[in-house]
Amino acid sequence: MGSRKAGLSGRRVLLVVGAGVAAYKALELARLFRRRGAGVRGVLTPAATQFVTPLSLAALTGEEVFSELFSLTRESRIGHIELSREADLVVVAPATADLLAKMANGLCDDLASTLLLATDKRILVAPAMNLRMWAHPATRRNVERLARDGVSFVGPDAGAMACGEWGLGRMAEPSAIFEAAAKLLEGDTTLPPPEGAMSAARPLAGRRAIVTAGPTHEPIDPVRVIANRSSGRQGYAIAAALAQAGAEVTLVSGPTALESPAGVGIVRVETARQMQAAVEAALPADIFVGAAAVADWRPAAEAGHKMKRGGAKEATLTLVVNPDILAGIGTRKKGRPKVVVGFAAETEKLLEHGRRKLVAKGCNLILANDVGAASGVFGGARNRVRAISADGVEEWPEATKDEVAMRLVARIVELLERAP
Ligand SMILES: Cc1cc2nc3c(=O)[nH]c(=O)nc-3n(C[C@H](O)[C@H](O)[C@H](O)COP(=O)(O)O)c2cc1C
């Protein structure tokens, strides 16, 4: 840190603050720059003044703060071109979805965006937005385009959002933005994207994932099966979210009425044994998510013809146990995916069963959910899960299955980063 202080004294940063909840953290960032000896010129977008006041930023930077393009021109103390070039580095924090879109398209309808287009200096952006805004194809396109244009990125991080959701989109911590900026100011060019930004937008690029979903059907005779009420919606949502995060996904699906999600390779099966074979065939993988409701039992023998009632008052079905696909993957000695996630669909003793399953099946994470009839989970659009791992139990708030999937993906990214 001592060398950073020496390295940054006399260096100047133009800090552009966008209109996001994380704008308050820009004040802390300004303080960090000042403490390490750098001069900071603050520019707030007009909308950002709704989040932090020019006065706060001016107090922390010790310099006049600008916001309006035309008042700047009218007063002509400093021109916008000069402002855009007087700094050694431009830092945009928080970079809202709107600011990224403007930057990617060369729009300049306020002071901040005009400076960003006019500058001849390196630009470091710290995106901050709701996880869906971050995951939106439009934002991903903008990020990729900016990365190709040579803009550097730091973050975003995964975590709790001001809007109550959880996922990728939180602004990087001021200390991380400061470190990234200091590297650029010191001429360390190992930081910049394209790769960095692309991987922030697609954190699972280059990873392979296998997801199982839906029920299995275990034939009794040519027309009857043992089935369950799983719709497959949660597993399909997970496959879609993993693909959106850049993973190459194979979805092994039992019989469902759902269409294959975009960008996902699908293998349709009926029975547990077929599902197991399809999963084995899809290996190797970095990630395995067992979201299918695999039948524990199957009829010992499938009648070759439709069974007739005859005069019998009772009939007996002999069942044999099915392969345990999740345990087979989680406890593999060789070629085990780095992250194995299982579901514990329970109607009672959720945590107890979930914890036992975590260990017995060799999982990194178990999502335990109550699938009793009253919960509406099987077939419904929403889910409420508890995430059980070696770290303990997290209660995830009730959410749509898409939201649960996105939160799971962010958790998988974390687990992969920690995996040996
Ligand atoms: C309370 C509130 C919080 C917001 N937080 C964010 C945010 O974190 N990220 C974002 O991209 N947009 C956020 N927005 C939307 C932006 O403020 C809006 O798109 C604005 O036009 C962006 O302006 P800018 O380009 O000056 O940053 C938020 C809006 C409100 C009302």
Q: Is 179 in the pocket of ligand 1 (CB under 6 A)?
A: no
**308, part of any domain:** no
Helices (H) and strands (E) in the chain, counts: 16, 21
Query: Cα(26) to centroid of ligand 1, in Å?
Result: 14
Indicate whether 243 and 173 sit together in one domain: no
Indicate whether 178 and 217 sit together in one domain: no
Query: Cα(97) to centroid of ligand 1, in Å?
Result: 7
Indicate whether 391 and 258 sit together in one domain: yes
Indicate whether 367 and 253 sit together in one domain: yes
Q: Is 48 in the pocket of ligand 1 (CB under 6 A)?
A: yes
**65, part of any domain:** yes
Q: For the chain, what is the domain count? A: 2
Indicate whether 181 and 228 sit together in one domain: no
Residue nearest to atom 1 of ligand 1 (CA): 21
Domain boundary among 201, 226, 243: 201
**pLDDT for residue 84:** 84
**33, part of any domain:** yes
**pLDDT for residue 193:** 46
Q: Which residues of the chain have pLDDT under 70?
A: 1-7, 71-78, 160, 163-167, 188-201, 372-380
Indicate whether 13 and 157 sit together in one domain: yes
Q: Is 342 in the pocket of ligand 1 (CB under 6 A)?
A: no
Indicate whether 138 and 277 sit together in one domain: no
Decide if 75 contacts 68 (C-beta within 8 A).
no
**pLDDT for residue 227:** 95
Query: Cα(96) to centroid of ligand 1, in Å?
Result: 6
Domain boundary among 201, 216, 240: 201
Q: Which residue has the tokens 């749509």?
A: 400
Q: Is 21 in the pocket of ligand 1 (CB under 6 A)?
A: yes
Decide if 89 contacts 13 (C-beta within 8 A).
yes
**304, part of any domain:** no
**300, part of any domain:** no
Indicate whether 233 and 376 sit together in one domain: yes
Distance CA 341, CA 132 (A): 23
Decide if 214 contacts 231 (C-beta within 8 A).
yes
**pLDDT for residue 188:** 57
| Token pair belonging to 198 | 């692309």
The CA dihedral of 380, 381, 386, 388, to the nearest 10 degrees, is: 90
**pLDDT for residue 201:** 63
Decide if 343 contacts 369 (C-beta within 8 A).
yes
Decide if 237 contacts 213 (C-beta within 8 A).
no
**301, part of any domain:** no
Query: Cα(364) to centroid of ligand 1, in Å?
Result: 36
Query: Cα(313) to centroid of ligand 1, in Å?
Result: 68
Indicate whether 191 and 213 sit together in one domain: no
CATH number assigned to the domain comprising residue 59? 3.40.50.1950
**pLDDT for residue 308:** 86
- Ligand 1 atom nearest to 110, measured from its CA: 26
Mutation test residue for ligand 1: of 96, 108, 136, the one with most atoms within 8 Å of CB: 96
**307, part of any domain:** no
Q: Whole-prediction pTM value? A: 0.62
Indicate whether 17 and 112 sit together in one domain: yes
Q: Is 47 in the pocket of ligand 1 (CB under 6 A)?
A: yes
Indicate whether 232 and 327 sit together in one domain: yes
Residue 356's domain comprises: 208-295+317-418
H or E stretch at 34: helix 23-35
In three state form, how does the secondary structure of 343-399 look? EEEECCCHHHHHHHHHHHCCCCEEEEEECCHHHCCCCCCEECEEEEECCEEEECCCE
> 163 an active-site residue?
yes
**pLDDT for residue 393:** 92
Indicate whether 76 and 220 sit together in one domain: no
Distance CA 209, CA 188 (A): 34
**pLDDT for residue 181:** 94
Distance CA 81, CA 111 (A): 10
Domain boundary among 141, 176, 201: 201
**pLDDT for residue 293:** 95
- Scored b (16 or more CB within 10 A) or e, 115-127 reads bbeebebbbbbbb
| Token pair belonging to 255 | 């019989």
**pLDDT for residue 310:** 85
**pLDDT for residue 131:** 83
**303, part of any domain:** no
